[in-house]
Structure 1
Amino acid sequence: MRPEERANRLAYNACLRRVGDFGFRAAATRGGLEIVMLTTVLITGAHWLNLFGIGVAMLGTYLSLSDNYFTDHAGEPREPLARYSYNWAVGGIGQNKTYLSGIIEAIAYLPLMAVGPWGMTGLPDAARLLCVACAVGFVASCIGAIFVDAAFYNPDVPFPLVIEVVRATVGFIAAALSAVVVLSADWTELSWWIAAGLCASLVLVQLRIRETDRAFAAARGFADNEQIVGRQAITGLLHSMVGTPLSALHAAMGRFRADDPELYDSFRTVEGGYRQLLAMDVTADVDVDWPGQLTAHLLALGGEYAIAFSFSYPDGKMSRPDRVLAHLILDDLANNAAKSGASRCEIALARTSDGFTASATDDGRPILDEQWLREGGGLQRLNHHLKAHGGGIRYDSGADGAVKCVTAQWVSAGSGYEDVASAS
């Protein structure tokens, strides 16, 4: 599954809510497995070096228990090492960062896996297989906790390709490495097959990761639907309370637009915002901010006039004056293209060294000379706005008149988008 499919707001928030509880229960499970291994080693009289791997694993699990307990509860641990590990872990929640507890537990993977096959040679196979089973459970728990961490569902955190590849195959990698360590030791024939089955069971970790991704990806559609329902509840009231008065005001303002064009354009900005808010109940990925609302308006305009719009815009922040002006310009250009009988129109907004350029290229009827910038017309008022911002408007048509392009440019308003972006 691609990262953009699994990573979404719902998945990330759900993972954040379960970080402490899920991590604590997983660490408690690992602690139980370590105790079983320790008890088995002590009872069978196995070599004391086995205690090294188990001790390292226990230290990591102790820190993991502490990290997750205090993440889920108020306060922080008093013990210095646990407090250091906790502060390290808290700073990395939801980010592509390692935890001290995870690093220590990872160091114990191979020593712990070697306890049964190599550290208990000559002892009963039942005891050896029990330690292999506990080590497999420990590794599976650690891998599962790592690769279903909240960071992998954070839409704002990209992961390198190598990590994504490892995540997509980690169950198979773990099974292969454990098989190399475990199955190379001396076993009876039956015990060898049992040990092989235990190593192969690590592949199931891959299934768990995949199904977690699938569950969160499926829940995304449900969350989007609930978002649309919530928007419709608001936009429905907005339409019933504002729609009719606004339509009446539109007719009145149209009669007086030649007398006070600035007031008329201000009204159009308000009316455009109203239409954009209504468009938000169509789809959940229409953003409240730029450029989602304009995109939704182009979709509605395209449906009304049977015209196919394409819209491209630059990345990065824009100051509010620039966004308002860009919306007013692009809305005008799109409406002119639609009313000229065009079947397709390419709307583009691009940055320049000191501002922006907006253009509309369509296959509609050409603009006649007597209509271009005629007194009292929409394009004439638009040109007036642009000149006030150090720009202007121009018209170009193809040699055969089949394609025309209207281009507007202006100098960035206020402090410009660069200052706004740096302050955000």
Structure 2
Amino acid sequence: MLSEKLLDLAFRRAVRHGSLDMTTARGERFSFGDGAEPHVSIRFTDAAAQMALCLHPELKLGELFTDGRLVIEKGTILDLLQLLLQDTHGELDELPLHRLRKIRAWMMRRAENDAAKSRRNVAHHYDLDGRLYALFLDSDRQYSCAYFDHPDAGLEQAQAAKKRHIAAKLMVDRGHSVLDIGSGWGGMGLYLAQAAGAGSVKGITLSEEQLEVSRRRAAGAGLLDRVHFELQDYRATTGRFDRIVSVGMFEHVGVPSYDAYFQSCRKLLKEDGVMLLHTIGRSGTPYPTNPWITKYIFPGGHLPVLSEMMPAIERAGLIVTDIEILRLHYAYTLKAWRERFLAHREEALRLYDERFCRMWECYLAMSESAFRWQDAVVFQVQLARRNDVVPLTRGYIAEREATLKEAEDALALKRSA
């Protein structure tokens, strides 16, 4: 069969280290690799699934696994992704119709994420049952890359370090007003008020589920006088703020809206203000987002490279004062999330169904593989309107982190008293 010949060719090129056994729908067996670990065995349930993977591997690998038409009989979906990506960096995708798919993807991404579309896209992912996220996130529900500042850090410690690292770069002082664009479940905004001493924090989100939780948390912390959360698009936000923070939101903006995003940020930032943008990106050249992730997980999303972001930043009149690139930090974060999700899979199954659980495992594995074996990274871009508002050297970051850690410890003592 043609599909078997194409898969044989593709897997022989891709699998160099490790072992892959493939059983076709007709029962024919193929083996690839050097016999080492990881050892993965897969089986196709129908011939159409084989051809689908040949024609559109980026989309169909996730679909076929989710639908149970590509069965992993030994190993995991992450093991399979490791075999395919660790040596080839996506070479498996160099199959028929690859260029046509790439052109189509570039055409589709030209559509701007206006306010209505952005809200629908956010609801698709973030308005799922909140109990699902509680199964695998840390206690503060930080749904973005953690910061592993020492080798033995666990997820809770690394997420606390992430908030501390961002707050230090923001240079939040007592009395400062802060805007949190894409405020999630409120953890960052509450931290900036409690540990950093911000005078006021406004968090904006397009998720009704997250808004409800955020407001409830602010009330429970006795911070309703200083921390406010609104269901609002950044383009509709008014006022001027000493500090702006945006964590894990920019991935959803889309290239056609970059000018609107950065121009809005400049308008909202005070003359002597500082902004910290924390976003997933790519270290390679511009490339369309994985179509399976776009279709099933994050519609409207795009992972930027710096060359896509910088022209819009420059046109907006903002100054880049610092850039830090976090590389494997998100791989470690996603590993922790994936392991937690699998440990609570039965609970997820009671919330949704088997197909959803396979889809979610695939999403977490695909994301982890992108940071381990492909070019996904996290950018932390510090921005200002003037070039004299940030210290000349980076020593202030460690100094402020130490002060923030002391404030965290004091808060913890107060809660336990």
Give the TM-score taking structure 2 as reference length.
0.22
Give the TM-score taking structure 1 as reference length.
0.22
Richer in strand (by share): 2
**Greater RCO between the two (CA within 8 Å, min separation 6)?**
2
